[in-house]
Chain A
């Protein structure tokens, strides 16, 4: 598994360079990361020195950098200015909600999105293909924060079908497992739909292209000639050969989701990493922001590594590259 080791090393290198860039980016900005603390009341020089020591801003840049990388590798990003608690603790608390939302969106994109992409490829150039392309492009052009508000307006305010915000009805905290599960599901619908609507275009487009490519292959034509049913040709042959390249979508899809969640979670008061990030940005809580930025970067690097590995497992030709 020489290839795997090389690819893993490359991912680690990319992550390390990205960490370095993030660190020097923040340090090179014309602004004081601690300015927010002295906004309401001026700090004494003693307090400033104490804070600088706490956030290690009094150390030389080199040792600050070493401390930052060392901390990041252990998941330690210091203390949140806004909450006064370790960033790591806050992130771990919020992670499950974001994973739940992410899993729901992944499920929609990788079932409905891929199925729609296949349908588009099968009806290439016909009205249904055009309509689906335009709809998915419209979704891609829609700001998620606005779409979320519009869905709230329609389904929560006007129709009273679904809750507008949060992830569980406060009255249900001590209710039975079934009703809690049902209520969580109801809270999940609107955020998941919003995020899926703005991100489904990439899975549809990718699947459409991969499927068109597969349908042109000689063995698909041969399968057709042997008299196999359309369904078997499409799902048994063409789709299977299109799958490896569709799996690389995983790497593309992850950043969209991580970023999209910032707005969607904020709109729906969904207590995940996205709303944590949005709140940190609004409060200028830069240690917390740095923590979520590093986590998002790690997610992107891991996502693209995993999709490459999956691709290589399914398609040996990819390992030769």
Chain B
């Protein structure tokens, strides 16, 4: 790792929130990756008569659901899916937002105006409603398309941040010097401007992971995201609705894992923001 990256990791680690969030995230990632090696299959059903809705105990640490499947196994699979979707969508969204922001920021005039007016309008449409509309018309959306949809609805804020930083930096001496030396627009954007707007991009990307995980869980809860039999955290809460009064473990634990995951990501994101911009505290 390069020196600024090491310094950043150290700065995050120095903050209590950043440290707790990092440790929790590492543990959750280990669980998501290593869990399947130790646990029964998340889709395996036992004896429906005797093994359905078992309370947490020795055989099944977090109990079983109404189809006698192991709740912990399903949580681990759902967690892995949530993390994959969250990371992939947030990464794509940030790349897209940075690209649009850089283009708008370096090309003043009409291109800038059109892009930013469009972003204003996009920001005015609540993200959930766009996704509901798309998913209501597009039945049984495949996972890569869902990831793409979450990314395509999550880049607007980043593009604004990056544009504002780019406009601010455009007048700085080092950019003018590069221009005077004959560097092209592309080279200036990627070599000189991008590294200097990396901080807000990093923060927006991290916080974006949590937003995506919550959104995906919500969409799945409404019956529109991940479809059964694929285990997902939101889907588990949905499935538990008919039994959660008598078997609360089917609903408590998947929800708790969502909270833990999103909270850990946001704690790291907050620590990053504080480390990069000490004035914000």
Interface residues of A (CB under 8 A from B): 13-15, 17-18, 20-22, 25-26, 29-33, 35, 124, 130, 133-134, 137-138, 140-147, 149-150, 153, 157, 209, 255, 258-259, 262-263, 266, 277-278, 280-282, 284-286, 289-290, 292-293, 296-297, 300-301, 304
Contact = CB atoms under 8 A, between A and B. Distances in A.
Contact of B122 (A18, A147, A209, A278): A18
B259 interface: yes
A138 B265 CA distance: 11
B124 A301 contact: yes
B137 A31 contact: yes
B125 A284 contact: no
Which secondary structure dominates where chain B touches chain A?
A: helix
B248 interface: yes
A18 B134 CA distance: 15
B245 A25 contact: no
B125 to A, nearest CB: 5
B222 A22 contact: no
30 contacts: A13-B117, A15-B124, A17-B121, A20-B121, A21-B122, A22-B130, A25-B134, A26-B137, A29-B138, A35-B137, A137-B267, A140-B266, A141-B214, A141-B259, A143-B217, A146-B254, A146-B258, A146-B259, A157-B245, A209-B280, A258-B126, A263-B222, A282-B222, A284-B137, A286-B133, A289-B129, A289-B133, A293-B133, A296-B126, A300-B125
Interface in B80-139: 117-118, 120-130, 132-139
Contacts of A147: 255
B190 interface: no
Nearest to A288: B136
Interface string B200-233: 0000000000100010011001111000000000
Which secondary structure dominates where chain A touches chain B?
A: helix
Contact of A138 (B123, B241, B263): B263
Given A138-B259, A145-B221, A297-B126, A286 B137 contact: yes
A143 B120 contact: no
A134 B19 CA distance: 13
Nearest to B118: A17
A269 B65 CA distance: 24
A80 B20 CA distance: 49
Given A149-B251, A289-B129, 16 more contacts: A13-B117, A25-B133, A26-B137, A31-B139, A124-B281, A138-B263, A143-B234, A149-B237, A149-B241, A150-B251, A262-B132, A280-B136, A281-B223, A286-B133, A289-B132, A289-B133
